[in-house]
Amino acid sequence: MKTRIISGVVGVVLLVGLMFLMNTPVFSIAVALLSLIAVHEITGVAKVENKFIRVLSMIFAAATPIVIDYNLLSRFEIPYSSVLIVFTLVILILMLSQYEKTKFEHVAISFFSAVAVPFSFSVLIMLRDFHETSKYSDKHSLFFIIFALCCAWLTDTFAYFVGSKFGKHKMSPKISPKKSVEGAIGGVVGAAVLNTVLVIIFNQFVFESNPISVWFVIPVSIVLSVISMLGDLSASVIKRNYGAKDFGKIMPGHGGVMDRFDSCLFTLPTLYFIISFLK
């Protein structure tokens, strides 16, 4: 527990520092690095033996946030569909080059992780730039990023402590035996309460105009908390399918990037979809 707490504090400090660099190239580089590590972890857990496919997937994953941040495809008038077609063809050719030790499931999980994971992470960049095409300010963009991350991490934190203390009814014993219904409820309620405090603080001390209603935050927080648990369970399915406990060891006490950010991959796109109607 001590290692987990220390690691969590260090992670929060790094995240706060990154927020101060939100409008610099460091931000997109950090997102690219997260994407690369996440794909490396997923393909590692899946035991993808074709090193060329793994490397290509990681390169594609790292490039995606940079491409999105600098709008490179539009600048060079390259359709995204063309990029996906080329990526698909190359990865299939790499499969044929080492067909004896390359299963199609390895190709499928490499392709999926290389496309889906960095796109979800890149929503951080899209949230950062949300104010450019809406009535909101850059401070609102910061709030939305923190809000999405809090919905994922606070839900997990409260679910862990409430479940440890009061958990009696298993939520999904075959996927994640330690998760309980009581923990899930505690996670949703705890996240909603602290997110309400968060928006009140931002409305009072940060936003100069266009305050965000508490009655918007509460239901959205509940939705995102439920979505975050689905993300956590989805990652657990992958680990269980391949007999792995954690995706990695980069964060002592927590596991790898995917162990810590799996639920964020679901909350980030969902929040962006919801707030896109607020423009």
The confidence score (pLDDT) of residue 278 equals 81
Q: Which residues of the chain are under the pLDDT cut of 50?
A: none
Is there a single domain that holds both residue 279 and residue 188? yes
Contact (CB, 8 A) for 228 and 154: no
Is there a single domain that holds both residue 92 and residue 145? no
Is there a single domain that holds both residue 202 and residue 119? no
Is there a single domain that holds both residue 151 and residue 265? yes
The confidence score (pLDDT) of residue 2 equals 65
The confidence score (pLDDT) of residue 132 equals 93
Is there a single domain that holds both residue 209 and residue 240? yes
Domain boundary among 78, 103, 128: 128
Is there a single domain that holds both residue 122 and residue 139? no
Is there a single domain that holds both residue 10 and residue 98? yes
The confidence score (pLDDT) of residue 86 equals 96
Domain that holds residue 112: 1-128
The confidence score (pLDDT) of residue 1 equals 62
The confidence score (pLDDT) of residue 188 equals 96
The confidence score (pLDDT) of residue 4 equals 66
Q: How far apart are CA 279 and CA 273, in angstroms?
A: 11
The confidence score (pLDDT) of residue 100 equals 86
Structure tokens at 5: 């707490």
| pTM tops 0.75 | yes
Contact (CB, 8 A) for 44 and 249: no
Is there a single domain that holds both residue 116 and residue 143? no
Is there a single domain that holds both residue 93 and residue 8? yes
Tell which residue, 237, 149, 162, 255, has the closest CA to residue 198.
Answer: 149
The confidence score (pLDDT) of residue 15 equals 86
Q: What 3-state DSSP class applies to 84?
A: helix
Q: How far is CA 31 from the centre of its chain?
A: 10
